[in-house]
Structure 1
Amino acid sequence: MLEIINVKKATLWILKGVKSTDSSYYCRIIMLSPIKKEKLNYDFVDSLRFIAIITIVLEHTYMWPEPKFFKDVYEQSIQLFTMQVFKFGTILFYILAGFLIGDKIRTTTSLQYLKKRFDGTFKPWLFWIGVFLVLIYANLLVVYLKGSWSPMFEKPIWGFGEQIYDIIVKTSFWFILNFLGSIAILLIFRRYLYKIQLGIFFGICSLFYSVNLYYEWIYSTHTTAILGFVFYLWLGVILHKNFQQFNDWIKRRSIYTLLLASIFALVISCYESYYLINAKIQGDPYNTLRVSNIVYSLVSFLFLYRLGNPKWIKKLNPRSSTYGIHLIHFIIIMQILPQIFNPLGIGPEGKTSFELVILQYIRFFIVYFASYFIVYIINKFDKIKWIIGQ
């Protein structure tokens, strides 16, 4: 028997049997085939984006009457769970954005990257703020013409400034300015991007806002937390740099262990909100930057990543629809939903927690599918696709 073996570096040999005309002779020839390094799969970014935008829309479609808090334990539990369970979406968005920054940071300059983000993020943001303002003024004009007083027309400059402030600070549009500001801060420290000391600094900044909830040293809403979310962008960059190691590590973790950890973190987050409500703090007891919610968001990220990427999500094309849904959904909540529910006399007053949850999901389905449909139609026209960004 003759064996021909030729081993080279970084190669894989495939055995093939070749029998000669002489039945007593058998030659085993080993053919050369190069080893292919496993290609890392980044599809998880689109899958988690899809999940994150659903949590954002769900969170914004609630109708809990502020600052109402049910006294009955059963009612309290439903309210706490409903308000908390979707709170991981914002931090998830920042981690994913940081991951994508890590993917581009080595091939573009800081100015090139910021320009790309301006074209794909800021310009669509300005466009939809304009649409929002037009709809607001149209509604107020109708009310004004019917004889009701409106500061938008009696004091136009003050009224316009007030509306701009409310849109940027009190609606989902806050996210884009904070996001772009966080990117700019991260790029300022680009030279030290992969230093653990930089991560510790940004982590301390985030925890400052967590502690500030209890003491109100500064205005505590997460929508004005300028340095509150940079850490999660940085975390995404580090995740990209060490993605192979992370991928190998997470595959060895049990899905059920991560699920139990997520449930435990959810319970702790609900308890912290309950404590903050009873402490009668001035800020939001469901603030995204609570310590418990930070932990819950990070554990949820691990669980969702380990869960995998459902194939059906790809068919919805989340890469080209997520940002558009984010820009449009709050306009529908504020301008369209009242035209549906107010004439029907449907509001939060006098309803149980369970009824409010059902109402929230009805509102969610209307808002999400209306937003998705609008984005889907816009994506069909190349000349106007820029208004939904990416």
Structure 2
Amino acid sequence: MISGKRNYHEIDTIRFITISIIVWSHSLFPPWHLRKSNDLIEVIINSVVIQLGAISTVIFFIVSGILMHSKLQEYTFKKYFNERIPVVYAPWLFIVGLNVMLIMLHQILSKELVTTSISPILASIYVILNGLVIYGPYWFVLTYLIGMVVLIYFKQYSSNVFFGLLLFSITAFYAVNFHFSWIDTFHTKAVLAYTFFIWLGFQFHRHWEEIILQVEKIKWYVLIALMLVFFSIACYEGFKLSLDGVRDPYASNRFTNIIFSIIFFFFLLKIGPIRIINNLRPRKIVYGIYLVNSIVVLELTVLLKKYIESLYLVSIWTLLGLQIMFFTLTLILTYFIVNYLISSSLKWVIGSK
């Protein structure tokens, strides 16, 4: 069993790396999703760029399970929400509301929204909220909330393999659905697809020392080879699904991405804590980065709108170079904004105590 005094330095490193990848996915220019080409190299680069943004989600849910398991049995719904509302859900609501106001302000300034009537304004708010919470960057917290409610309600089965298999069967249904489209394939609507990964994090927590020992025994070349193989397969699946017209073809809850993400998690565990990353205080800033990065992307996109619109005409290599610069700028600005908020009286807006 894991020691109650464990500091989770390796998890801190993983959290920062994975949130950086999430920022990458949020900052992708529109041409990556809309660009069409018959050139094999361009197709490969395009698939790699989009697939790269899909690998962190599963890991984030696993990490959440690892960190929450020690408190699971003592949680009632009341105790859970009393503890988590101030640091998770209230900041999320505030930032979502701030996003709505900023987007509407930009619509008014650009004359996309020209009305004083209440109905068009309410309709615009609904569309924006739908985009942010259902299809956009803020779906994670709502999905995590539903997962935790399920797991707290059934907490007596938290160690039960059959309960885990039941949750996995739900995840598997959503994964198979990409190839049959029985229901909407958009991953942000698969609200029960990720509960299994929180449960899996619980199991990792229970057997943490054994997992660390087993990961240390895996040869580097084996892990790297597995990563390359499954990342390539995930890229191909995403490309094939996009050709088939599937919505959200590079979704994080595809089987190929799930397998790769778990292998990548073990790879990061094997690397262990990275001091230069942990010196950035991931425990304090990661949730803030998640909440704030989309606002930074929004404002940079508005500022650079006329340049971004011309990106459909540039070469794939130019697009890639500009994407890396845009991502780097987004991550750096977000990091400094979050650090400023943590040291100010506004730290509550990102869940910092």
- After superposition, the C-alpha distances for 1:305-352 in whole angstroms (9 at most, x for unaligned) are 111111111210111111111111112212x11233224466321122
1:155 to 1:195, Cα distance in 2 relative to 1, 3 A: same
- After superposition, the C-alpha distances for 1:1-36 in whole angstroms (9 at most, x for unaligned) are xxxxxxxxxxxxxxxxxxxxxxxxxxxxxxxxxxxx
5 Å matches for 1:366-381? 366-381=329-344
- After superposition, the C-alpha distances for 1:285-314 in whole angstroms (9 at most, x for unaligned) are 101111100101011001111111111112
Of the three residues 289, 292, 311, the one matched with 2:256 is 292
Q: Find the counterpart in structure 1 of residue 26 from structure 2.
A: 60
In structure 2, how many angstroms separate the alpha carbons of the residues matched to 1:312 and 1:109? 38
TM-score w.r.t. the length of structure 2 is 0.93
1:43 aligns with 2:6: no
1:386 aligns with 2:352: no
1:141 aligns with 2:105: no
- After superposition, the C-alpha distances for 1:215-253 in whole angstroms (9 at most, x for unaligned) are 211111111111110000000001101112112211211
Q: Find the counterpart in structure 2 of residue 71 from structure 1.
A: 38
1:111 to 1:347, Cα distance in 2 relative to 1, 3 A: farther
Q: Find the counterpart in structure 2 of residue 21 from structure 1.
A: none
Native 8 Å contact 2:174 2:185 kept in 1: yes
The offset of 1:277, in angstroms, is 2.0
Q: Find the counterpart in structure 2 of residue 14 from structure 1.
A: none
- Structure 1: segments with no counterpart, 5+ residues: 1-36
Amino acid at match of 1:365: T
In structure 1, how many angstroms separate the alpha carbons of the residues matched to 2:214 and 2:7? 15
5 Å matches for 1:294-313? 294-313=258-277
Q: Which moved more, 1:40-49 or 1:213-222?
A: 40-49
In structure 1, how many angstroms separate the alpha carbons of the residues matched to 2:162 and 2:82? 28
Of the three residues 172, 186, 209, the one matched with 1:221 is 186
Q: Find the counterpart in structure 2 of residue 247 from structure 1.
A: 212
Amino acid at match of 1:131: L
Count of residues in Structure 1 that have an aligned counterpart in Structure 2: 349
Amino acid at match of 1:75: E
Native 8 Å contact 2:42 2:316 kept in 1: yes
- After superposition, the C-alpha distances for 1:165-221 in whole angstroms (9 at most, x for unaligned) are 122112211111111111111111101110000110111101111111122111111
In structure 1, how many angstroms separate the alpha carbons of the residues matched to 2:303 and 2:153? 47
Native 8 Å contact 1:152 1:160 kept in 2: no
Give 3-state SS (helix, strand or coil) of 1:214's partner: coil
Native 8 Å contact 1:63 1:347 kept in 2: no
The offset of 1:126, in angstroms, is 0.9
In structure 2, how many angstroms separate the alpha carbons of the residues matched to 1:38 and 1:200? 28
In structure 1, how many angstroms separate the alpha carbons of the residues matched to 2:269 and 2:16? 13
Q: Which has the higher contact order (CA 8 A, sep 6+)?
A: 2
TM-score w.r.t. the length of structure 1 is 0.84
The offset of 1:105, in angstroms, is 2.0
1:246 to 1:345, Cα distance in 2 relative to 1, 3 A: closer
Deviation >4 Å, runs of 4+: 37-41, 147-154, 343-346
Q: Find the counterpart in structure 1 of residue 300 from structure 2.
A: 337
Give 3-state SS (helix, strand or coil) of 2:312's partner: coil
Going by fraction, where is strand more abundant, 1 or 2?
A: 1
In structure 2, how many angstroms separate the alpha carbons of the residues matched to 1:172 and 1:38? 33
Give % identity.
27
The offset of 1:149, in angstroms, is 4.4
Of the three residues 89, 105, 111, the one matched with 2:56 is 89
The offset of 1:261, in angstroms, is 0.9
1:148 to 1:239, Cα distance in 2 relative to 1, 3 A: closer
Native 8 Å contact 1:140 1:150 kept in 2: no
5 Å matches for 1:203-214? 203-214=168-179
Q: Find the counterpart in structure 2 of residue 118 from structure 1.
A: 85
In structure 2, how many angstroms separate the alpha carbons of the residues matched to 1:70 and 1:300? 29
Q: Find the counterpart in structure 2 of residue 356 from structure 1.
A: 319
In structure 2, how many angstroms separate the alpha carbons of the residues matched to 1:114 and 1:40? 25
Give 3-state SS (helix, strand or coil) of 1:79's partner: helix
In structure 1, how many angstroms separate the alpha carbons of the residues matched to 2:181 and 2:114? 35
Q: Which moved more, 1:107-116 or 1:215-224?
A: 107-116
In structure 2, how many angstroms separate the alpha carbons of the residues matched to 1:192 and 1:118? 25
Amino acid at match of 2:351: G
- Structure 2: segments with no counterpart, 5+ residues: none
Native 8 Å contact 2:25 2:52 kept in 1: no
Going by fraction, where is helix more abundant, 1 or 2?
A: 2
